[in-house]
């Protein structure tokens, strides 16, 4: 009898062992997706607290990612980290599509309103994944159920307009079932360390450049999404990025900066190492030319010609960065009405009231083309087939037609005039995991009356002469919002000039005064653009007929970064925060009138006391 019991126990233990090993040996897709389904169904059925609403919607997102980060300066490796990440995000909604816990802001609970994130086991541990999802779902539900009750109470105490009261919190959509094959590439750590060393060593030859850095980031992930409506998707997210930064000071102490940014879907899509080395050398020499350039000690108001990279930054900064532009913004319910004025500034001013009205030049049309994967020889990092909420976007969506605003990018949160999703709650990168925000994928900006780029300079000079100006202005490069420029926590971050006209644009890097007599160009420094906004694009004198592709990373934080975040956050945040986006746009555009002024700095640091030990 005892022997029989021993045999039975051994058999039971063997079954448990084999079952556990089966899950461990099964591929990631099967384990992750089964764990997500089983735990979601269990929570939807059993999550309940007396006196509180049950969930009507749950979604799970899991990112299974590998990353490689390398940082180098002057030919030496500073940091080299290859690391896997598995993170999850849980969203729980209580109430109904009509009214739920979303779109409600409390001062003491601004950052945990409807979704939570956390880590999951790196191996294919079915029960470990379920355990992580269970704990996060439980924590999320308890919080949002209470938020929902407080939201209902706040609404009863406020006199909302009929339009606000009738606006739904979450729109219903068609379900999707999409499985996109993985995109994989080799993480050759030694190769990329050598690349970082070669690129950064070039700056050893320039003693006038005080600091420099090369950063390389490789990201490869599979994103799993599931919700209780029946949508189930799996799709890849990849990114390869290289940034080269260099900083110095002019003789008068002015800080000067330049950078190169390379973005690609895979390492194979990057330029050759020889091409990048040549561009790093060119950037270094141009930075020294800026160092020796005269100060722009004037105030200019007149035509400005934007060319090349500056055109791309002009459009991204005015139309898609920050919390306004062509991305929908929902006005939330506030727990206290007096919060509206303070937090409203952070949310930005929506262009939605201007739908069917002119917002930019009638010469321009802006549309989305999210599924376009390549333009000429450039692969577009913003191309996508499904968004973070499981919505498949249309092949094309016109945002602005001949200057007239038609619609805005949006997700499942309805706004006053945009009641449904157009599939642009994009999947973005956030510290090894993923996030989501309303953001462009592939944007095409075209002109109905494009002309040759060379003629635009002639038009620039002619317009300046008509306005009795002494010179004209060309801008060819602006500081990117993702430059990774070192920030100092000082009074300049909070400084507003006496006239209150603080520049909303990044600093011009290559800006030239153009002689009206012979067209000769003079590089100048110490400039800033005043009052740059979407309104700037209303009056355009001409646009180039030639277009180019521009890959970048867009984050809502880019439009109004908290200075404390720069001072105390991870120095590599630029690489890990934002949504890959691509633009197809003209390589030159002539603005009828723009103000260029001398940069106002409350503080200028002194030059180093001792010369740089590095360089010729």
DSSP secondary structure string for all residues of 138-187 = HHHHHHHHHHHHHHHHHHHTS---HHHHH--SS------EEEPPP-----
3-state secondary structure 358-408: ECCCCCEEEEECCCCCEECCEECCCCCCCCCCCCCCCCCEEEEECCEECCC
From 291, 314, 334, the end of a domain falls on 291
Q: What total of structural domains would you count in the chain?
A: 3
Cα 252 from Cα 232, distance rounded (Å): 60
386 and 245 share a domain?
no
Q: What pLDDT does residue 577 have? A: 80
128 and 214 share a domain?
no
429 and 497 share a domain?
yes
Bridge partners, 433 (sequence order): 430
Tell whether 71 is covered by a domain: no
Tokens of 30: 């099967």
Cα 90 from Cα 364, distance rounded (Å): 40
In eight-state DSSP terms, residue 101 is: S
413 and 538 share a domain?
yes
Q: What pLDDT does residue 110 have? A: 59
Cα 605 from Cα 123, distance rounded (Å): 50
42 and 113 share a domain?
yes
Contact 421, 337 (CB under 8 A): no
In eight-state DSSP terms, residue 324 is: S
Q: Is 284 helix (H, G, I), strand (E, B) or coil?
A: helix
From 179, 214, 242, the end of a domain falls on 179
Q: What pLDDT does residue 518 have? A: 95
382 and 495 share a domain?
yes
Closest CA to 73 of 232, 217, 196, 249: 196
48 lies in which domain range?
Answer: 2-62+83-179
Q: What pLDDT does residue 19 have? A: 47
Tell whether 90 is covered by a domain: yes
Radius of gyration of the chain (CA): 27
Length of the chain: 616
Tell whether 57 is covered by a domain: yes
Identify the residue whose tokens are 């420099």: 212
248 and 367 share a domain?
no
Q: What pLDDT does residue 262 have? A: 97
Contact 543, 447 (CB under 8 A): yes
- pLDDT by residue (tens digit) across 469-524? 999 999 999 999 888 776 554 444 444 444 334 446 889 999 999 999 999 999 99
Q: What is the pTM of this model?
A: 0.90
Beta-carbon contacts of residue 82 (< 8 Å; ≥ 6 apart) = 66, 67, 68, 187, 189
Tell whether 75 is covered by a domain: no
Contact 245, 483 (CB under 8 A): yes
160 and 19 share a domain?
yes
* Integer angstrom CA distances of residue 489 from 183, 562, 597: 40, 11, 24
Q: Could you tell me the CATH number of the domain that includes residue 216?
A: 3.30.2290.10
Q: What pLDDT does residue 573 have? A: 44
Cα 557 from Cα 318, distance rounded (Å): 14
Beta-carbon contacts of residue 357 (< 8 Å; ≥ 6 apart) = 404, 405
445 and 552 share a domain?
yes
571 and 474 share a domain?
yes
φ/ψ of residue 532, rounded to 5: -75, 125
Nearest 10 degrees: Cα torsion 461, 465, 467, 468: 140
Tell whether 284 is covered by a domain: yes
The rounded Cα 299 to chain-centroid distance in angstroms is 33
3-state secondary structure 493-532: HCCCCCCCCCCCCCCEEEEEEEECCCCCEEEEECEEEECC
Tell whether 613 is covered by a domain: no
φ/ψ of residue 203, rounded to 5: -75, -5
Cα 444 from Cα 547, distance rounded (Å): 10
Tell whether 67 is covered by a domain: no
> Within 13 Å of residue 205, how many CA atoms lie on the same side as its CB?
10
Contact 241, 262 (CB under 8 A): yes
**Low-confidence residues of the chain, pLDDT below 70?**
1-26, 108-114, 322-324, 338-348, 486-504, 556-576, 616
468 and 352 share a domain?
yes
Tell whether 434 is covered by a domain: yes
Q: How many CB atoms sit inside 10 A of residue 25's CB?
A: 9
Cα 22 from Cα 27, distance rounded (Å): 10
346 and 426 share a domain?
yes
From 274, 291, 308, the end of a domain falls on 291
């Amino acid at each position: 009898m005892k022997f029989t019991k021993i045999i039975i126990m051994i058999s039971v233990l063997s079954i448990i062992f084999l079952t556990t090993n089966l899950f461990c040996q099964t591929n990631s897709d099967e384990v992750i997706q089964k764990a997500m389904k089983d735990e979601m169904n269990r929570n939807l059925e059993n999550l309940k607290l007396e006196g509180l609403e049950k969930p009507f919607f749950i979604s799970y997102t899991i990112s299974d990612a590998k990353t490689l980060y390398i940082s180098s300066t002057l030919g030496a490796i500073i940091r080299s980290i290859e690391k896997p990440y598995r993170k999850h995000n849980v969203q729980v909604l209580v109430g109904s599509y009509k009214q739920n816990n979303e779109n409600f802001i409390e001062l003491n609970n601004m950052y945990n309103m409807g979704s939570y994130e956390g880590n999951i086991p790196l191996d294919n541990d079915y029960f470990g994944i379920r355990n992580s999802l269970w704990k996060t779902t439980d924590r999320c539900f308890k919080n949002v159920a209470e938020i929902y009750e407080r939201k209902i109470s706040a609404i009863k105490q406020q006199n909302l307009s009929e339009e606000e009261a009738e606006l739904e919190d979450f729109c219903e959509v068609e379900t999707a079932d999409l499985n996109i094959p993985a995109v994989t590439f080799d993480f050759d750590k030694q190769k990329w360390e050598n690349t970082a060393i070669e690129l950064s060593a070039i700056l050893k030859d320039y003693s006038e450049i005080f600091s420099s850095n090369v950063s390389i980031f490789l990201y490869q992930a599979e994103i799993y999404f599931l919700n209780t409506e029946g949508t189930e998707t799996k799709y890849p997210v990849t990114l390869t990025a290289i940034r080269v930064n260099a900083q110095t000071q002019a003789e008068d102490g002015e800080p000067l900066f330049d950078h190169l940014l390379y973005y690609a879907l895979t390492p194979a899509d990057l330029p050759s190492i020889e091409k990048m080395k040549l561009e790093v050398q060119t950037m270094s020499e141009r930075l020294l030319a800026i160092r020796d350039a005269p100060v722009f000690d004037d105030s200019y108001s007149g035509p400005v010609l934007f060319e090349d990279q500056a055109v791309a930054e002009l459009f991204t900064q005015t139309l898609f960065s920050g919390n306004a532009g062509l991305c929908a913004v929902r006005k939330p319910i506030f727990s206290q009405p007096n919060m509206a004025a303070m937090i409203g500034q952070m949310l930005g001013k929506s262009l939605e009231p201007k739908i069917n009205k002119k917002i930019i030049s009638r010469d321009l049309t802006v549309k989305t083309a999210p599924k376009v994967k390549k333009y000429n020889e450039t692969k577009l990092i913003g191309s996508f087939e499904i968004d973070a909420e499981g919505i498949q976007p249309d092949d094309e969506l016109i945002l602005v037609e001949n200057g007239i605003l038609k619609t805005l990018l949006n997700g499942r949160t309805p706004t006053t005039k945009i009641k449904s999703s157009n599939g642009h709650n994009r999947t973005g990168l956030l510290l090894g995991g993923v996030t989501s925000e309303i953001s462009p994928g592939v944007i095409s900006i075209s002109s109905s009356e494009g002309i040759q780029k060379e003629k635009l300079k002639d038009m620039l000079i002619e317009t300046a002469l008509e306005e009795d100006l002494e010179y004209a202005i060309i801008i060819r490069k602006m500081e990117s919002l993702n430059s990774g420029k070192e920030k100092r926590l000082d009074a300049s971050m909070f400084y507003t000039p006496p006239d209150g006209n603080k520049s909303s644009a990044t600093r011009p890097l290559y800006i030239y005064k153009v002689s009206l007599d012979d067209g000769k160009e003079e590089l100048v420094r110490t400039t800033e653009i005043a009052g740059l906004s979407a309104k700037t694009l209303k009056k355009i004198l001409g646009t180039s007929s030639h277009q180019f592709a521009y890959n970048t990373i867009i984050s809502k934080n880019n439009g109004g970064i908290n200075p404390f975040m720069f001072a105390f956050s991870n120095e590599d945040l630029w690489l890990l925060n934002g949504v890959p986006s691509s633009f197809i746009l003209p390589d030159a555009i002539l603005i009828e009138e723009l103000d260029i002024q001398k940069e106002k700095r409350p503080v200028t640091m002194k030059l180093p006391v001792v010369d740089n030990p590095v360089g010729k």
